[in-house]
Each structure stands twice: as structure tokens, then as C-alpha cells.
Structure 1
Amino acid sequence: MLVAALLLLALLITGVATTSLLRAVLVGNVDDQLRAQSATTLDLQTLVARQRAGEESAVPTDYALLLSTGVPGQVTVLAAPAVGSPEVGDVDLEEARERDREPYRAEGTDGSDWRVVSVPVTWRPTGEDLVLSIGYPLGSVDAAVARTRALFWLVALAVLVAAALAGRVAVRRSLRPLREVEAVAVAYGAGDTSRRVPDAWPGTEVGRLGGAVNAMLERIESALAAREASEARMRRFVADASHELRTPLATIRGFAELHRQGAVRDPEQVGAAFGRIETESARLGSLVEDLLALTRLDEQRPLRRDPVDLLVIAGDAVHDLRALAPDRPARLVGLDGSPAPAPAPVTGDDARLRQVLTNLVGNAVRHTPAGTPLEIGVGVRRHEGGAWATWQVVDHGAGIPPEEAERVFERFYRSDASRTRGTGGGSGLGLAIVAALVRAHGGAARVVATPGGGTTVEVALPAEERADELPEADDHETLDLDGPDVPEQADPARRGS
């Protein structure tokens, strides 16, 4: 509507300007012709003599020729066209001299417009000074201007109609992507999240809008998928946690009911029953603590950031293992079985990093036969991504099948389903906590094969030292952080943890 109004205003201005200019040009031509005619009729005596003799007048028939004394009402019409003559009786000699052949407007006897040139002349027989006026009617000029105006407005109307139709088509075509955006939004709201706005030229506002809407829909779809995955993990986690909590609770309740009903009377039986209750209570408390730890890690609470050397923590873990399980050979070694461990400084939470290594060592002890040797490798590796302080906890047990190695960091996952929860099997959360803590420190955890049999769990954390101060790594020591080490949402746990 605004464009149509502006176009109409432009046409109106153009029409007025065009017709005004045309009339001015045509009137100018008439004025030039009047000046030329006034120069040929200055000899009044010759003009009158030719008229008396009946000869053809020097003035064309569409011109009017008038003679006046300068006194109103005393005008003699020497020649006039059929349309009449102009009123020039009030033009005196002085005014005619001042005009100096300059054309002026006069009104005709029939009310029409005329252009007139008045010049002073002398009638020689009497010596009388008179005013000779030559006029030309502007009827033909006005008719030409009127025809031009009518033609212009016809053309303008056609242009306006064509512009309106073209504008309507252009607007409909330009708004088509908006209708597509509307259709996509309606479909998306109805549940069809696969719909997208068709690509349009990004040089237009509508094209950029379509691209922005598609990007927004992609983010919404990703967010919905992430939410659904999170809800699925939460449901699975709650179900697994309920199942894990139900087992020790059922054991505690069963022995308590046996004691209440008097089924257990022998002191040894009573002691054994309460021993089981105590054991299951401790296991229940440990499970609750693990769940609480995972919940806190999921909340991404900030960790302490202090200088920590992984070599010191590994040495303490070896000493603790020798004290708690003296039947197990335990060694502190370098990476990949090299004899010399190396300092591995990082920035992190000392207590949490000790928990990582404690869980790894406890997991290895829990799932390998008594007397199975265990090594803890420590060192720093360098590759294209930077320097990484690394732990390797190596056991020589039965190992983990390759198809299960990718799942050991999932919560409540156990690689050996034959183990019962009451005979040494873990809660399935130990390696989940390991993976979550490692990820919180910006690192990665993974399971790799152990030469000669067994399992190696490798943890890599960003090293504190500069890469040019670290020892060179062998080609086979390249760390791969793109594997199944720490899942994106940290749902980890190794073979029983």
C-alpha cells in the first residue's frame, strides 16, 4: 500500500510537471510567432491600404489585429478569427512602449485566453499615435495540453495497475519463504521435528531468516535429543540404583525378620546373621556414597586446582597395596612397562586424583585372583595435542573382552554377570566415578590390552610442564583420546567396580 501511494504521488508530480512544461513551451512558441508578426505589421498605412483594396492581409486568419487610441472602448478590429478577439481597450501608448513587444495575457470576448503583443504606431494622414495589437488565441494550446494530460493519465493508470499487479506477484513470491517458515513452525509444533525451511538466497532478509530458523531448529532438536537421552539415562540410573539398593536392603530385612521371629537362636547363628547385616549395611552405605559422589560430579561442582604429581600418588598407592594385600606383587614402573617411572605434574584436586587411583587399584584387586601381580605405570607423553601426564594400572588377570571394553565406564555395568553382589562384586560405580573425575580434570580414561594377558586402564591428564621440557615419546606411545575412554555424558563403570 505504501509503495502504491508513493508511486501514485510520483506519477502525479510527473504529470503536473510535464503538462506545465508543455504548456509553457507551447505558449513560448506562440509568443515568438507574435513577435515575428508584430515586426511585419508595423506599417499601419500599408496594412490599412491593403485592407481597403481588398488584398490579402499580411496577418494569418487565426490572428486578431486590433487598433486602439488608448482610450477604453475605442478599439477597431482590423482582423479577427471566428473565435473572437482579445480585450485590449485599456492598453495605452505609454504601456505599449514599456512592454516593448513583450507578449502578455488577455481575456477574449468569449472568455478564452489570448496572447497579445501591443506596439505603438503613427497614422500619418493625421499624425495621430495609436496602439496596434496582435493576438493569438490559446485554445489550440489548451487543447493540446488537455490531450497530453489525458494521454499521460491513461498511461499512468496503466503503469499503476501494472505496478500493482507486479508488486502483488513480487510480494507473494518474496513472502513464500515466510509461508514456508510458518508451515515448518506449525509442523514442528505438531511434532514433526524433521521439517526444515528450504534453502533460499542468503542475500535477502527472508533467506537469512530461513537460515536462522533452520539453525534454531537444529539446536532445539539437539537439545530435545540431549534431554531425551538424559531422561533415558536418568530412568536407567534410577532403575539400576533401585535394583542395587534393593539387594542389601532385602538381605538386612531378611536376617532382621529371622531374628525377630526367633528362627535364629544359636549364638553363632545370631552372630553370623548380624555379621551379614553389618556387611550389607556397609555395602549399602558405600553404594549410597558412590551415588552421592556421582551426583556431585554431575552437578559440575568446582574442584581444587593445586599442583599435584601423579608419581607421588602412584607411589603411595603401591605402598598401600603392599600393606593391604601383601600376597600381591606390586611395582611402580614407567609407561608401557619401562622400568623407570617419571614425574607427571598436573594441576588438580589431590584428594580426587587419589580417589581415581584407589578405585582403579581396588577394581583390579577385586577382579583378579589372589597373588596376581599388579603394576602402576607413571610418565608423561607428548603428541600433537600437547603433553599428557599418564597413569597405567596393569593387572594380569583374565582380562576384559574387547566388545565389553567400551562399556566398562558405564554406571552399574559388570563384565562378569556370574558374580553375585554379595561375594566380592562391586556396585558397578567405581569406574564410573573414575571416568567422571578424570573428565572433570580435562582428561580421558580408556581400557587397553595388556601384553601377555590382563587388563590395562589408562588415565591421561593435561600435564603442567611445557611440551619442550618433556621427554620424547616413542611412536607406539601416541595417546588416542578419540576412543571410548570417557563417554560424552560420563556414564562410566568398569567390569564390576
Structure 2
Amino acid sequence: MSGRRRPRPQPRTLRTRLVVASVVLIAVVCAVIGSVTTLALRSYLYGQLDGQLKEVAARASGRFDPPDKDVTGGGGAGLIGGQDKPPEDIDLTKFVARGPQPVGTIAAEVRDGSIAEAKVGKKAADDNNVPQLNPEPLSDAQTEALGSVARDGDAHTVDIPGLGGYLARYQTGPNGSYYVAIPTSDVTRTVNTLIIVEVSVTAAGLAAAFLAGVVIVGVATRPLRRVAATATRVSELPLHSGEVNLDERVPESECDPHTEVGQVGAALNRMLDHVHGALHARQRSETRVRQFVADASHELRTPLASIRGYAELTRRGREAVGPDTRHALGRIESEAGRMTLLVEDLLLLARLDAGRPLQFEQTDLVPLVVDTISDARAAGRDHNWRLELPDEPAPVSADAARLQQVLVNLLANARTHTPPGTTVTARVRRSGAWLCVDVQDDGQGIPPELLPHVFERFARGDSARSRATGSTGLGLAIVQAVATAHGGAVTVDSVPGRTVFTVHLPALTTPTAAETDRQPHSQARHSLTTRVRQGS
């Protein structure tokens, strides 16, 4: 478990990060303002409550101090600057039940260091449902909690069981020593109400800020998304080959040099201009090369035919020639024939590159494959040839001659690059909307480093140009070009002991029996004979 890496979180978009950052910043500012406001209000309210507590304590003890003097705890002696009233007996029942003490005021008389009597004024309704204050004695637990307040003359908060939070003070005066306390519930309720209001307003403000941020950031980043869309469309163009129409540009309205996004759009347009110029120059160069190859191939056909003709005429003439001369003439014919094949392949590739139209007609792949495998069997009797054909026709719209050349090249490739005794299988099958022709062999396979380049022109399995096989290195390139011109493709899958070339062609609907009988084929009878002879 410890060695397993945790998946990295998906990066958020710039729009999301800007909105989230803005909302978080606003939330932090609102939290700071709310906290400061709450603390200031709480301090102010407790200050007012402390002032009320001082007045209640002064009325109970009979000790009134000037506003600028502090009251020290302890006995009556030692109070400096105090203004004492004549001593009087305090009735706690009347004291807590009458004004101006607030509702819930607690008063307790201290004698000999302990609380002798303690009362609290509670709000209740009389028989006429008129609210009034009723004095009630404190329980032992409540008295003990009140007696825990420090006797230093300062205000302290204390929690009285059953009554809630109080602000209490101990004070000594002419009337004696007393504990007085007034409830803090009103202050707490006010502060809690303020907190609820702040949280509600902050939440509503954050929601509004989020929605506004989404709209504002979306409008601000819209030019950036247009730049990205332009770059995406350019990345989807086939720039590797052929004539490229690179007209995609960022709109001029999004290329304002005074904005960051506009600078990016302008830079992208300049880059696309350079790329378009380079691609156009490459296309012109490729066109000139193709035209040269086509012209040279066309012009070489006649001299090559003449060379082969004169060599054959001389070799078969009535004049006696020596063995060396006969051998030289044979080599001239052989090399002229190989050169003719190369010229024909180059001319075909040049025509396919130029987009010359093919002669499309409805063609059944089954007899075409049978005839081609029959010819391959005649040329390579040291190989084992097999057929795997469907029971129904396999019609496609194709140029039969070019398609036959594709099959001939694939079978010749299998025969040339595998040792004697290799089994070569030609298979016709349907795969969805495609008809596929597989040419499979159980030879040694294609080297992994060569596999990605087998369809390139002049690609070879060895570094030398084999004269024994007569290979030009253009066979598989022609296969790919013809398959592409038919709207299909060719693929290869190779491992030691199994190599499969697959030609994918768009399938047509299966023809009727009458249409099948009307379709002519030059080797229909020979195809059937080949099937029986090979036991396919």
C-alpha cells in the first residue's frame, strides 16, 4: 500500500481558479470584518452591562464612588474617596423585585465570610396575567456558584446552574458586603443574532460574488478560449503530407496588443503564418519532385523497352554469339526488366499522389483473391498457400486492376521475405462496415525497429538492395496508396511466427444472385479449380 502512488488531482482551469480565489479572498475579508464587528459589539455591550452592575452594587452596599475612582475589595475601612450613604437595612426580597434592577438580578448578603441570604428576581404573571417580578431564594448549588466569584471588587462572569450566564461583582459598603449579579442573556442573544446575520449576509454575498465572478471571468477569458479553439483546430489538421489549407487564424478582434490575451492571439497568428509559408514551400517542392518522377518514369519507359528489345533480338539473332556475350545479354534483359518494374511503380505512385481518378466498379473480393493466390502458388511452389473465404460474396466498389496489384504485392512480399515451407494464408472476412483481406504467414516476422516504417517508400528488411528477389522497396508503399485511394487503409501486425497484413475496404450491400451471375470474371473457372486443388 505504501508503494502505490496516489493519483494526481486533475488541474483546475484558469477560470475556476480565478473564481475560487476571488470567492476565498472575499470570504476571508468578510470573516475578518465580522469577527472585529462582533468583538467590538460584545465589548461595548459588556461595558454597558458592567456599568449597570456597578449601579446595582452601589445601591445594595450603599457605597457610591466617583467615576474616576476604583473600588477595592475588603472591609468598609480603607475605601478612599468613597461617598457613603447612611447605613440602612436592605431587604433582598424588595431589592430584587423592584426597579431599577433588571429582570433576573441576583443579590446575596455576606456575613462572617459566607453568604447568609441570596435572592433572585424572576419574571412571572399574577392572577390577572400581569407580568411582575417575584423574588425567589437561590438553591445551594446556585449559592455555591455565586460564592465562587472573587471578592476583589471587579466584575466576573459566572454560570449559575438553572439560570444561565451572569456578570457578578462583590462589593462592601455602609450597608454591608454583598454579591450582586445581572444576567448576560440579553448580551449573548444580541451577539448571537449579529453572528447569524453576518453569516447569512456573508453566505448570500459569497453566492452572489461566485455567480458574478463566473460571469465576469467567463467574459474576460472568452478571447483566451477562442485562441485555444483556434490552436485545437490547427492541431487536428493533417499537416504531415499533402496540400494543407492552413487558413485558421485568431480573429483580429482578439489580437489587441494592449491586452495579454491579445498578445497571445497575435503571436499565434504570426506562428501560423510562418508554418503556412513553410508548408506551402514544402508542397511546392513535393509537387516538383512528383512531377519530375512522373515525367522521368514516363520518358524512361520507351528507352527501357528498346534496350530489352534489342538485347533479346541480339540474343535470338542468327549471328553466333559466345557464352560470355549471351550471359551479358541475359543480364541486360534482366536489369532492364527490373528497371522497368521500378519505373512502373514510380509512375503509379506519382499518379496516385496526384489524385488521378481510379476506375471504380463493383468488384467481388472472393474470386479476386482466389485468382491472385493461384498466381502466387504458381510463382512460389516451395510455399504452402491456403485460402479462407466466406460463403457469401464480398462486394466492394474498387478498381479491380489496382486492387489485384495490392494483393499481388502482399503475396509477393510474403513469398520473398519468408523461407521455403512457410504457410501463407489469404483470408476474406467482414468487420462491421468494412471488408477485410488478410495476408498471413508464419515466417520469422518483421523486426520491431522496421515495423513502423514498412509502408514507407524504399523501406527494406535489409540494408542492401536485393537483386535476387528483384524488390524495388515500393510494393508496400503502393499497397498503402491504393488502399487510401479506395477510402480504406492497410495495417500490419507482426510477431515472430505470425505476420498479418490487413487491407480494410468499405463494404457494399450484398448483391442479388442475378447480379452475381451477370458479373464477369476472367478466371472464374480457374478460381474454382484452384480452390479444389488446394483444399481450401
Same-fold call, TM cutoff 0.5: no
- TM-score using structure 2 length: 0.39
**Higher Cα Rg, which structure:** 1
- TM-score using structure 1 length: 0.42
